[in-house]
Structure 1
Amino acid sequence: MKIELAKSLSGHDKDEIYLILKQEERFAWLVNGTTHTLLKPKKKNTKHFQIIKQIPTEVVSQIEENAWNDDTIRLAVKKYKRSINK
């Protein structure tokens, strides 16, 4: 499965980082491990988020090496936020 992160562009969650769980033509289901877990993903219109194309390799390996669970996703999002704030 391809690992993609997304940044929310509008709404009350503006500038929040998510992992794309599932994407269809017009909507995507996003998770961040805290407020939107694997059991309760956020459904968001594709016009309202931007896919992050350059993901650091340590973030990708964090997700690929571990089972997909809320803790892994939360740590990967946190690691990505730290990498962009350097």
Structure 2
Amino acid sequence: MHVELALSMAGHDKGHYYVITGEEGNFVYVADGTLKLCAQPKRKNRRHIQLIRRLPAEVEEIFQKEESWSDLNVKRALKLYKQYLNEAE
């Protein structure tokens, strides 16, 4: 399973990281595992997000092991990515 992360660039959630769970035309569906769950993802305009192309191997491994999206896996992936960003600074 290919995982994509995104950073919200507009709206009240600006600066918030999400995992993209689905796509539909000009919109994507995003979840963070806490406020926006995988069962009810947030609908976001593609123009209002920035895709994150480079992911650490640990983040990709989380979704390669699992067959389906779960809120726990989404939270783990986002937490690992934020730790990766802090270490890179």
Query: What is the distance in 1 between the residues matched to 2:25 and 2:70?
Result: 25
Letter in 2 for 1:12: H
State the TM-score, normalizing by the size of structure 1: 0.93
Query: Which residue number in structure 1 is paired with residue 74 of structure 2?
Result: 73
SS in 2 for 1:14: coil
Structure 1: tracts of 5 or more residues without a match = none
SS in 2 for 1:44: strand
Query: Which residue number in structure 1 is paired with residue 28 of structure 2?
Result: 28
SS in 2 for 1:72: helix
Query: What is the distance in 2 between the residues matched to 1:25 and 1:50?
Result: 16
Letter in 2 for 1:42: K
Task: Please give the root-mean-square deviation of Cα atoms over the aligned residues, in Å.
Answer: 1.1
How do 1:1-86 and structure 2 match up within 5 A?
A: 1-66=1-66, 67-86=68-87
State the TM-score, normalizing by the size of structure 2: 0.90
Aligned pairs, number: 86
Identity of aligned residues (%): 37
